Amino acid sequence: MVLPRATRGGPRLVAVFGAIALAVGIVVFSAVFWVTRQISPSGGQGKRVAEVIVPTGASTDAIATLLDDAGVITNARMFRWYTSWKSAGPWDAGRYVEFRRNSSFDEAIEVLDDGPVPVDAVTVRIPEGRRLVDALADINAAFPNLSVAELQATLDSGSVTSRYKPAEIPNWEGFLFPDTYEFFDDATAQEILQTMATKMDDVLDGLGYDKAESLQGRTAYELVTIASLVERETGQPPEERGKIARVIMNRLDDGEPLGIDAANLYGLGRTSGELTKADLAVESPYNVRKNKGLPPTPICLPGEASLRAAIEAPAGTWRYYVLTTKDPPTHLFTDSYREFQKAKADAQARGVF
């Protein structure tokens, strides 16, 4: 019997089909990845959008375009498809003040479902990292009948309560939650401030601050203070908050001065600017260039991300960090003073700071 000559057609055919399957798989994976990133973008939510006005009679398509233009979502066309698939909407016309940039579709839908600000409501917006004195000024701007002095007197009176602020510490810095609030136009100072204090309690409860000692070996007050330092020091990448919190904790454990200029500036009544030799020589409990340990109070009103970073600080040996890029603001973290100095010199030479 004469057998036919063996050929390589079979293996070649298998190889061709395999290559096609691989290419199709890569295309499908890439498409799924792209769609997923449109629906839920990386990096987490950004800053609040001042407001989005949904006009009367606006369709879902029109609302999607408004949100895309405002930077709330990344893709209006995909949002229209997603809302149709979820049978979301319709939504009411009006003024929305809770949207954040770079939101997932579900986060945007949640804000729309909550509805617009009532017509007779007064909106008070307190940004993360705001000092208490500036937050009181923000409230006064929204409610001109409530002076900053009256608001401070209300805090000092004891009529506003907190489950986490120690009674022996009169300073309310750090214990009014920074957020966007809506109040009736006849709201009192006590109602406004208690709402903010209660919101802070609720956020701290949700993050486990009632178990602060067992989770981080520090009191809730100490962790809120650390969170306030993180809030004023942090860069853009979300993971940096936790690393900065760990650097602070490592320095505290090593008995080193924190050296955080934001605390010195707070003690000087400022929020920015270069520190002079005279500034650094000032005798102040907030001069953490000279003094060891935490400042006596928080230095601002920390937001949820910084509060989470303090109580969930990752393990690490970092003791130094330095700004290496401004856009976005990004730091190098290291436990080597030599590496820190080298990176600092390089950043200064490049004009980063």
Span 212-221, pLDDT tens digits: 999 999 999 9
323, amino acid identity: L
The neighbour count for residue 81, using CB atoms within 10 Å, is 15
Three-state DSSP class for residue 181: strand
The Cβ-side half-sphere exposure at 127, using a 13 Å CA radius, reads 12
Fill in the DSSP letter of residue 333.
E
What pLDDT score does 149 carry? Answer: 97
Distance CA 139, CA 273 (A): 25
How much is the pTM? Answer: 0.72
Three-state DSSP class for residue 330: strand
- Could you tell me whether strands 180-184 and 121-125 are parallel, antiparallel, or unpaired per DSSP bridges? antiparallel
Cα 347 off chain centre by: 25
Residues 6+ apart with CB under 8 A from 326: 352, 353
Place of tokens 């950004």: 46
In angstroms, the Cα distances linking 343 to 165, 269, 289, 346, 351 are 39, 30, 20, 5, 12
DSSP 80-132: HHHHHHTT------EEE---BTT--HHHHHHHHHH-PPPTTEEEEE--TT--H
Distance CA 308, CA 311 (A): 5
For 180-207, what is each residue's pLDDT tens digit?
A: 998 988 899 999 999 999 999 999 999 9
Distance CA 171, CA 178 (A): 16
What pLDDT score does 327 carry? Answer: 79
What pLDDT score does 273 carry? Answer: 84
Cα 95 off chain centre by: 23
Residues lower than pLDDT 50 in the chain = none
Q: How many residues does the chain have?
A: 353
For 166-183, what is each residue's pLDDT tens digit?
A: 999 999 999 999 999 989
Are 80 and 90 contacting, i.e. CB atoms less than 8 angstroms apart?
no
Instruction: Name the residue among 105, 110, 48 with its Cα closest to residue 73.
Output: 105
- Structure tokens, 301: 């009103």
What's the topology of domain 52-114?
Answer: Dna Ligase; domain 1 (3.30.1490)
Task: List the domain boundaries for the chain.
Answer: 52-114, 121-207, 209-317, 319-353
What pLDDT score does 212 carry? Answer: 95
